[in-house]
Structure 1
């Protein structure tokens, strides 16, 4: 069974971690920095980000800061983000932002037909800085 990854933007990562671990049987996978945590429950990986924390919490080009509720999305991992974005752009897909390069990899948000965000993510290769 493969793992499904979902990212939620939350106001308080500590409170969210407590909630998901205490009430919903999630386990902490990692807490590498303030404002971010990765949790696991069976085949669901839940990434928690505070606004402004890490690449996923960065302000959009129009100045909008991600916030709970409107920025929740699932993540699809791709091998070559630039090539994927180029292909999707040619197919008329709309994007919220440009590619963001963070410590964990590169990401971009696209819009589904209803305007919901989907994150495309290319992980950083181990050993690269």
Structure 2
């Protein structure tokens, strides 16, 4: 047997309200639920969970405690023909682009930070083997 798909991706933010506004207003994700310790957003093929790290690490919850040190990283797929619009959209929301990388295998990634300092990437589908979206 083997797993074939990542179902949940977790990052951490001290201010869940700021995270919710960023992922809703800037990235256009629709909030799925909130349950005190975390908020969740559905994507086409999974769920993004953003946990309060101070609460997620506590023992005795309904799920095992977890956490991370320092900023996390996640990437959303973005086709090359969408990048100019994303640059304008991010600028309109006051989000600075930290770096752009032109990959040897083709395509460009745009990196920026969420309010918690997590590194967010808009990455070309060709980066990891050429998925079609």
TM-score normalized by the length of structure 2: 0.39
TM-score normalized by the length of structure 1: 0.40
Whichever structure has more helix as a proportion of its residues is: 2
